[in-house]
Chain A
Amino acid sequence: MDKPLTRVLRVDLTRKRAWVEERPDLFEKGLGGTGVAIELLHELCPKGADPLGPENPIVLAVGPLNPLFPLASKAVALFKSPHTGNLGESHCGGRVALALRLAGFGALVIQGRSEVPVYLTVHRGRVQFRDARALWGLSSSLTAGRVLREIEPGSGARTILRIGRAGENLVTYATVIAETYRHFGRLGLGAVFGSKNLKALVISGTGTIPIPDPPRYQKLYRELWERATRSDLMRKYHDLGTAQNIRPLNQIGALPVRNLSATRYEGEPAFTGERLAEGFLGRRLACSACPVACIHLAILREPHPKEPYFFKTTFVSYDHEPLYALGSMLGMERAEDVLKLLDAVEVYGMDAITTGVVLAWATEAFARGLITERETGGLKPAWGDAPVYLEMIRRIAQRAGEFYGVLGQGVRAAAARYGGEEFALHFGGNEMPGYHTGPGALLTYLSGSRHSHLDSAGYALDQECLQRGEKLAPEELARRLLGEEARRQVLSSLVVCFFARGIYDLPTCCAALGTLGIERSPEALTALGAQILRRKYAFKRREGFDLGAVALPARALQTPTPMGPVDEAFLRRALAAMAELLEGEHGLA
Chain B
Amino acid sequence: MPKRLAVVDSGRCVDCLLCALACSRRFGEGGLARSAIAVRSVGGVEHGFVVIVCRACPDPPCAASCPVGAITKAPVGVRVQPDRCIGCRTCVLSCPFGAVHWDEENGKPVICVHCGLCASFCPHGVIALEEVGGG
- Interface of A with B (CB < 8 Å)? 67-68, 70, 98, 101-102, 124, 145-146, 149, 155-157, 179-181, 205-211, 214-215, 217-218, 221, 225, 229, 234, 283-293, 295, 297, 315
A102 surroundings in chain B (CB, below 8 A): 31-32
A156 touches B40 (CB 8 A): yes
Q: Roughly how many angstroms separate A214 CA and B25 CA in the complex, as a whole number?
A: 8
Q: Assuming A67-B17, A288-B17, A293-B16, is B45 touching A180 (CB within 8 A)?
A: yes
Within 8 A of A (CB), among B64-104: 104
Q: Assuming A98-B17, A229-B123, is B31 touching A208 (CB within 8 A)?
A: yes
Q: Roughly how many angstroms separate A70 CA and B29 CA in the complex, as a whole number?
A: 15
Task: Tell which of A124, A221, A225, A288 touches B15, judged by Cβ atoms closer than 8 Å.
Answer: A288
- Please count how many residues in chain B sit with their CB below 8 Å of the partner chain's CB atoms: 31
A293 touches B14 (CB 8 A): yes
CB 8 Å contact bits of B95-121 with A (1 = contact, 0 = none): 000000000110000000000000001
Within 8 A of A (CB), among B10-66: 14-18, 21, 24-25, 28-35, 38-41, 43-46, 48, 52
B31 surroundings in chain A (CB, below 8 A): 101-102, 206-209
Task: Tell which of B18, B25, B40 touches A155, judged by Cβ atoms closer than 8 Å.
Answer: B40
Q: Roughly how many angstroms separate A401 CA and B28 CA in the complex, as a whole number?
A: 59
B44 touches A149 (CB 8 A): yes
A206 touches B32 (CB 8 A): yes
B46 touches A283 (CB 8 A): yes
B18 surroundings in chain A (CB, below 8 A): 70, 225, 289, 291
A291 touches B15 (CB 8 A): no
14 residue pairs of the A-B complex, CB under 8 angstroms, read: A67-B17, A68-B30, A156-B40, A157-B32, A180-B45, A180-B46, A206-B33, A207-B32, A210-B29, A217-B28, A286-B15, A292-B123, A293-B14, A295-B14
Q: Roughly how many angstroms separate A219 CA and B16 CA in the complex, as a whole number?
A: 20
Q: Which of A149, A210, A283 has the most CB of B within 10 A?
A: A283
A209 touches B29 (CB 8 A): yes
A293 surroundings in chain B (CB, below 8 A): 14, 16, 123-124
- Interface of B with A (CB < 8 Å)? 14-18, 21, 24-25, 28-35, 38-41, 43-46, 48, 52, 104-105, 121, 123-124
Give min CB distance, B28 to chain A, whole Å.
3
Give min CB distance, B34 to chain A, whole Å.
7
B15 surroundings in chain A (CB, below 8 A): 285-286, 288
Give min CB distance, B7 to chain A, whole Å.
15
B38 touches A291 (CB 8 A): no
Q: Roughly how many angstroms separate A1 CA and B123 CA in the complex, as a whole number?
A: 30
A218 touches B44 (CB 8 A): no
A210 surroundings in chain B (CB, below 8 A): 29-30
A285 surroundings in chain B (CB, below 8 A): 14-15, 45
Q: Roughly how many angstroms separate A225 CA and B25 CA in the complex, as a whole number?
A: 14
Closest to A212 in B: B28
With A180-B44, A225-B18 already in contact, 12 other A-B pairs whose C-beta atoms are closer than 8 Å: A68-B21, A68-B30, A102-B32, A146-B44, A156-B40, A210-B29, A211-B28, A211-B30, A214-B28, A283-B48, A292-B123, A293-B123
Closest to B50 in A: A156
Give min CB distance, B79 to chain A, whole Å.
22
Give min CB distance, B43 to chain A, whole Å.
8
Q: Roughly how many angstroms separate A207 CA and B30 CA in the complex, as a whole number?
A: 8
Q: Assuming A145-B44, A283-B48, A293-B124, is B29 touching A211 (CB within 8 A)?
A: yes
Task: Tell which of B14, B45, B105 touches A208, judged by Cβ atoms closer than 8 Å.
Answer: B105
Q: Roughly how many angstroms separate A217 CA and B52 CA in the complex, as a whole number?
A: 26
B29 touches A225 (CB 8 A): no
A217 surroundings in chain B (CB, below 8 A): 25, 28
Q: Roughly how many angstroms separate A225 CA and B121 CA in the complex, as a whole number?
A: 8
B40 touches A291 (CB 8 A): no
A286 touches B44 (CB 8 A): no
Q: Which of B16, B29, B48, B121 has the most CB of A within 10 A?
A: B16
B124 touches A209 (CB 8 A): no
Task: Tell which of B33, B40, B45 touches A181, judged by Cβ atoms closer than 8 Å.
Answer: B45
Q: Roughly how many angstroms separate A234 CA and B18 CA in the complex, as a whole number?
A: 15
A291 touches B123 (CB 8 A): yes
Q: Roughly how many angstroms separate A229 CA and B18 CA in the complex, as a whole number?
A: 12
Closest to A155 in B: B40
B29 touches A291 (CB 8 A): no
Shortest Cβ-Cβ A-B pairs, 7 listed: A214-B28, A209-B30, A286-B16, A315-B46, A291-B123, A293-B14, A156-B40
Give min CB distance, B117 to chain A, whole Å.
10
B33 surroundings in chain A (CB, below 8 A): 206-208
Q: Roughly how many angstroms separate A485 CA and B104 CA in the complex, as a whole number?
A: 41
Give min CB distance, B71 to chain A, whole Å.
21
Q: Which of B14, B21, B28, B33 has the most CB of A within 10 A?
A: B14
Give min CB distance, B83 to chain A, whole Å.
20
